Amino acid sequence: MGEVRTADPRLRVNLCGVDMDNPVIPASGTFGYGYEFAELYDINILGTFSFKGTTREPRFGNPTPRIAECPAGMINAVGLQNPGVERVIGEELPKLKEIFHKPVMANVSGFSVAEYAETCALLDREPQVGWLEVNISCPNVHGGGMSFGTDPAQAAAVTRAVKAVTTKPVILKLSPNVTDIAGMARACEEAGADGISLINTLQGMRIDLRTRKPVLANVMGGVSGPCVFPVALRMVWQVCRAVRIPVIGMGGITRAEDVLEMMMAGAAAVEVGAANLTDPLACRKIIEELPRVMDRYGIKNLAELKQ
């Protein structure tokens, strides 16, 4: 930590008009506000990161147990635990500014169209916020989140409301728990979205054979990790061919090769989620490995993958 690194120009990308040193973005909910990771490495090597999902009011989250392992991944029902937007602005962002010197991505959730708009409007005023990632895809809360992300009309309504009160790029985070992911993306684009990110977690559950009850208190949760990568890649491919706005691909990315696959599918950048929980150095390793893997496949720079 503390070393000065020169960004490799081969890795540079542009996301909704904002230049980034590389396309690697730790996903919301897996990186907190960056402090714990900043103790392990210089997080300024990241393209950016999406901080913990923020709602208007503080949320304790769902009852425990709310995280469990599953083959090649994990299942969670954390339920958007966060201190609320006022404390994020008053306490978290000032501390973040001390350790991270790039624009950061603000991830926002809500339980009504008005709440999404109000929270986004507050975060839009913050100088360090470069993008607003609007989460209409959380499967682990009742009465909000994914209920907006499975209905194109509702998704469009959130998009329009947020765009009306913000100036920074608005990226809609979509749920894979739909029959027509391309249609959802088009609805957001037509309502004014500047970008799309996908996929959020797939709905799933586990049962404890000893107790014969679900392992999560919430019964169902979101499945993530390497097991979902082929599904995520397929949906990113479909959305990139359905819209003209930039797409962030995520879902099961654990290595540099996965980043290149996502970008070959059309993604402008990627987010890394569950991998951060199994290896806190995952994003650093991916960034360091990218040039070598690009050389192996004859890729001169990442820009050439975005046709």
248: left (phi over 0), alpha (psi -120 to 50) or beta: beta
- Measured CA to CA, the distance from residue 251 to residue 224 in angstroms comes to 7
| 138 tagged catalytic | yes
Q: What is the pLDDT of residues 204-236, one digit of tens each?
A: 999 999 999 999 999 999 999 999 999 999 999
Helix (H) or strand (E) holding 185: helix 181-190
CA 208 – CA 45 distance, rounded (Å): 41
Query: Which of 138, 227, 240, 283 is flagged as catalytic?
Result: 138
Cα angle value 85/270/175 (rounded, 5°): 65
Query: What is the full per-residue pLDDT of the chain (307 aa) written as tens digits?
Result: 444 456 899 999 999 999 999 999 999 989 999 999 999 999 999 999 999 999 999 988 888 898 988 888 999 888 788 989 999 999 999 999 999 999 999 999 998 899 999 999 999 999 999 999 999 975 444 444 456 778 899 999 999 999 999 999 999 999 999 999 999 999 999 999 999 999 999 999 999 999 999 999 999 999 999 999 999 999 999 999 999 999 999 999 999 999 999 999 999 999 999 999 999 999 999 999 999 999 999 999 998 887 5
Check: CB of residue 201 under 8 Å from CB of residue 139.
yes
Extents of the domains making up the chain: 9-62+77-203+223-305
Q: How many CB atoms lie within 10 A of CB 249?
A: 30
Check residue 5 and give its pLDDT. 58
Superfamily (CATH) of domain 9-62+77-203+223-305: Aldolase class I (3.20.20.70)
- For 227, the token pair is 């097991």
Residue 20 token pair:
């980034």
CB atoms within 10 A of CB 103: 19
Are 13 and 22 in contact by the 8 Å Cβ rule? The answer is yes
Amino acid 232 reads: A
- At residue 147, the pLDDT reads 63
